[in-house]
């Protein structure tokens, strides 16, 4: 984590500089903080470390939001193991996840400020959302609020360098060697285990 995040943050800074006014992201903009997404064991470990280091009043609020979120997610038919919080433990879970909890706010999101209470420990997906990035199918994707009037060439010019993915994969594999981090999970489960 300590070696990966500065590399990602530098790549983000470079992409944001090239993006200029096309990048709509700013403190308080939190559309990307609504709806669940799978996080890696590396992200889960980073969030737990951030929570442990947070001031007690902030940590208590995060834990309360995470517990409430976990209960809502379980009631909505969590597509994974409800005990461990590991996603996709049955064949139909990945398909069920596509439409799962799209309106659930991130438990780390401070509802009063619209900012992240664990910003320094946020998952990789949060660190890379906004500027143009390649998805697993090698398509260039952007936040729907960004690059609304940009040409495809402008979008491509602002693509975020993702050469750090190899290091991320190595660190994920290391994190998965801990049986408690056996697979992907959600932020609410990572913070309430």
Which pTM does this prediction carry?
Answer: 0.91
Residue 2, classified by CB atoms within 10 Å of its CB into exposed (0-12), middle (13-18) or buried (19+), is: exposed
What is the model's pLDDT at position 136? 85
Q: Please, what is the end-to-end C-alpha distance for the chain in angstroms?
A: 20
Q: What percentage of the chain carries pLDDT values higher than 90? A: 83
What is the model's pLDDT at position 1? 59
Could you give the CA distance from residue 175 to residue 56 in angstroms, rounded to a whole number?
26
For 19-56, what is each residue's pLDDT tens digit?
A: 999 998 888 888 899 999 999 999 999 999 999 999 99
Could you give the CA distance from residue 19 to residue 156 in angstroms, rounded to a whole number?
10
For 128-168, what is each residue's pLDDT tens digit?
A: 988 999 988 999 999 889 999 999 999 999 999 999 999 99
b (16+ CB within 10 A) / e for 74-100: eeeebbbbeebbbbbeeeebeeebeeb
């Amino acid at each position: 984590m300590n070696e990966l995040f500065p590399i990602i943050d530098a790549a983000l800074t470079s992409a944001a500089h090239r993006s200029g006014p096309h990048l709509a992201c700013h403190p308080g903009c939190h559309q990307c903080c609504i709806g669940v997404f799978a996080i890696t064991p590396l992200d889960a470990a980073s969030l737990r470390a951030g929570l442990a280091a947070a001031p007690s009043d902030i940590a208590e609020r995060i834990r309360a939001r995470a517990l409430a979120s976990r209960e809502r997610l379980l009631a909505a038919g969590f597509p994974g193991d409800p005990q461990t919080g590991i996603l996709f433990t049955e064949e139909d879970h990945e398909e069920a996840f596509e439409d799962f909890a799209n309106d659930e706010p991130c438990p780390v999101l401070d509802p009063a400020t619209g900012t992240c209470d664990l910003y320094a420990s946020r998952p990789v997906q949060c660190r890379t959302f906004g500027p143009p990035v390649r998805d697993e199918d090698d398509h260039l994707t952007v936040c729907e609020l960004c690059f609304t009037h940009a040409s495809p060439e402008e979008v491509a010019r602002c693509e975020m360098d993702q050469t750090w993915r190899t290091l991320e994969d190595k660190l994920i594999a290391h994190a998965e060697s801990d049986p408690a981090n056996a697979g992907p999970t959600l932020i609410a489960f990572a913070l309430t285990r």
